[in-house]
Structure 1
Amino acid sequence: MKAAQVLTAVEMQQPELERHFLQVIAKHELSHAYLFSGTSGVGKKNLALLLTMRLFCSNVQATGVPCGKCNECLRIAVGEHPDVLMVEPTGSSLKVDQIREVRREFSKSAVEGQQKVFIISEAETMTTEAANSLLKSLEEPPTHVTVFLLTNNYHRLLPTIISRTQVVELAVQDQAELKTKLKQGPLPHSTIQLLLNLTSDARQIERLTEDDWIVKSKQGLERWFRWLLQGDWQAFLTVQTNLVPLMRDRNDQDVTIQMICFLFQEVLQVKYQGTGSEQLAFGDDYKMMQQAANSLSDQQLIAIIENVLTISRFQQNNVSFQNILEAITLKSLREFQ
C-alpha cells in the first residue's frame, strides 16, 4: 500500500484513534508496546503504519499528520525502511525463530536514526515458545524501541504478554449503533457483552446469534466451568453432550476457544480488579466467578489459559475438536483439584 493510501485509510477507519495517538506522539508520551486488537479490516496495520510514519517523517504537517510523501514515509509504507521491521506468520503461526530474530534486532542500534519500530501481525498465532521469548524483551524494553502487536483477538494471547502492553481495541465505526440494536432484542446483557468482546462484525454477530447458538454455547460453557470448579469429571460429559454437538464448523470451534480464554481472563479480572457482574460476559453467576477467583492462584489461571492456547493449536493437525476440548478439560481439572 502507498503512503497516501495509508493516511486515507486510517482517516476513514479510525479517525478518533488517529487524533489521540498523534497527540500522544507530539507530547512524547508514546509507550514502548501496544496491542492493537480488532476484527479483520478494522485498520490495525494501517494505524500502526501511520504512527510509524509519524515517528520517522521528515516533514510532519502542522496538524501533526505525517506528510506521506517524504522518503521516510514512502519506504515505511512499502516495508523497505531498515529501522522498521514487519513480522508476519510463516505458515499458520509465528515461530520462535522469528521472535528470536526480533529480539536480536531489539538490541541493535538504529541504522539511520535514533529509534526502531516492530510491527508484529497476527500476534495470537505465536507459539508458546515464541510468546515466552518475546516476553523477555517486553519486560525490559530498550528505550529506542516501539512495538505494535496486531491481533484479531487479544484474548488468545498469554496474559503475561497482555499485561506488558497497552491494549487498544479497534472497533468498527458503527459499534455503538450495533450495541444499541442488540439491546433492543431478546439477548441478555451478559450475552451482548460476550458478543461485542468476540467481534465487531455485524455479519459475524448475526451468524453467532442464529438459532440461539451463542446463548446455548455460553450456557454449555458455564455448565462445564461449574463442573471444573468442583473438580468433577462430569465436565467431560458436558463436552460430549452440551458443547461438541453445537459445533457447525471450524469458525464455531475457534469462537468456542475464544470464549474459554475469555472466561478465565474474566476470573483474573474478578481476582485482581474486583470487576463487578455487570461488566462481565460470564457474570450471571457471580458467586461462581468469585469462587473461582478465590480458589485459583494467578499462576494456575495463567497456566490454564496457556494450556488452552497450546492445545487449541492441534486443530491445525486435524485433531478432532472433541479431543481438543477433552484435553483442555483434563489439564484444567488438574489445576482445580
Structure 2
Amino acid sequence: MKTMTWTTFSQQPRAAELLHHSLRNDRLAHAYLFTGPKGAGKKQMALHLAKSLFCQEKEADACGACLSCRRIEAGNHPDITVITPDGASIKIDQIRHLQKEMAMRAVESIHKVYILEHVDKMTTQAANSLLKFLEEPPAGVIAMLLTEQSHAILPTILSRCQIIHFSPLSAEAIAEKLVLEGVSAGMARIASHITSNLEEARVLSQAEWFAQLRNVMIQLVQECKQHNSSALYTIHDMLQKSDKLKEELPLFLDLLILWLRDILYVQVDRHAHLINSDQQDVLQGQALIWTKAELLHGIDLVMETKNRIERNANAQLALERLVLQIQEG
C-alpha cells in the first residue's frame, strides 16, 4: 500500500494544511469537527492526523512503517478509540465507555485520541454526555468528530470544536484513486462521473452488474437506430434477467445520458472530454448514424424518463416509450 502523507490530501488542501501546520507548531485543538459529504476523506484524514501525532519518526507526518503507524492502520493502537453508531445511533453507554477510556493514562504517548463517526446520530443523552466531556477534556486528549450533517449537531457541541470543512472530491480525483487501487482507467472514469462519492464509485467500478448494465445500454443505443423491435426486446430481457438491474434503472439512464453526450463530443472532435474513452471505436461508429439534433433530443427524453421512473412510473412502459420516441426522432 502506498504510504500516505499530508500531500496525499491534494483534494482537501485547506484542511490538510491547517492540521499539518497545527501539528508542526504543537497547537492542535482539543476537539475538531470534520464536516463534509460522504467519501470526502474525513476518516482518512482523522487517522492520518493520529498517525502523524503518534509516529515514532517524529516528523509531523506519518512514516507509515513504524509500529505506531502500523497499529493505527490495523485498528489496534492502544491510545486511539474509534466509535461508530451502535445500530441506528451512538448511545450514551458508548460515550460513558469512551470517557472511562480517555480518563486512563496513555500507554505509548502523552496523547490519547478518539474519533466519533456519524456524530450527528448521537442520541440526546449521548450528545449531552459528550458535551460535558468536551467542556472539561482530560489533558492530552484530542477529539475528532466526523459528520455529513453538521446542522443536526447541538450548537453547544459545535461551539466547542474547531470546524474543518471538506469539499466533495472531483471526478478526476476519484478516478485517480480508483486507478491506484487497480481499477481499469476506463471503468474508473465512468464510475467517477456517475457519483461524487468515492466509496460508491469504488463499489460500482468493481460490480459485475454495473458492467452488465453498461453493456446493455450500449447495445440499446445501437438498436434504437435499427428501427425495429430489437430495442424493445432488449429492455424486456434486461428487466426480466435481474432484480438488481431493475433496481438500478436511474443509474442505467445516467449511463445513457453520458453515452449520448460522448457521441456528441466525437462529432465535434472533443475526444479529451469523453467519459466512455475505452469505447472510442464504438462511439465513432455511432457518431456516423446519429444527428446532433437527435442526440440533444434523446438526452432530453432520457432525463424526462428518469424523472418519471423516480416518481414511480411503470419502468417497462417508461423505457418502451423512450425507445419509441427516440426512434420517431
Question: What's the TM-score once normalised by structure 1's chain length?
Answer: 0.48
Q: Is the radius of gyration larger for structure 1 or structure 2? A: 2
TM-score of the two chains, using structure 2 as the length reference: 0.50
